[in-house]
């Protein structure tokens, strides 16, 4: 899946499911949109559905570093690259 496709899917989820208003790729999820740890867990579940597989514990732990939408996209690319090897 390309970054553009992932971006479209993530933005759709954030707007429809988390009620983000005009999210910017470099917005801080917590500070700019009130995203909390419960939201993060829910988003990880939706990411697993997008990817079509369950994330490992290690992959989920790496998600704790995410602060922006661009971070989400970088995270998804790393997971896809790691699984492709």
CB of 18 closer than 8 Å to CB of 26: no
CATH number at residue 43: 1.10.1200.10
- CB-CB neighbours of 65 under 10 Å: 9
- How much is the pTM? 0.90
pLDDT at position 85 = 65
By residue range, what is the domain housing residue 76?
3-84
- Total domains present in the chain: 1
pLDDT at position 70 = 97
Distance CA 55, CA 57 (A): 7
How do residues 10-36 score in pLDDT, each as one tens digit? 999 999 999 999 999 999 999 999 999
H helical segments located in 2-68:
3-16, 29-33, 37-51, 57-62
């Amino acid at each position: 899946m390309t970054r553009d496709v992932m971006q479209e899917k993530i933005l759709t989820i954030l707007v429809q499911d988390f009620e983000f208003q005009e999210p910017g790729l470099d917005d801080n999820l917590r500070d700019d949109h009130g995203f909390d740890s419960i939201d993060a867990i829910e988003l990880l579940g939706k990411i697993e559905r997008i990817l079509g597989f369950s994330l490992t514990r290690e992959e989920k732990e790496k998600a704790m570093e995410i602060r922006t939408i661009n971070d989400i996209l970088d995270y998804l690319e790393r997971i896809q690259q790691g699984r492709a090897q």
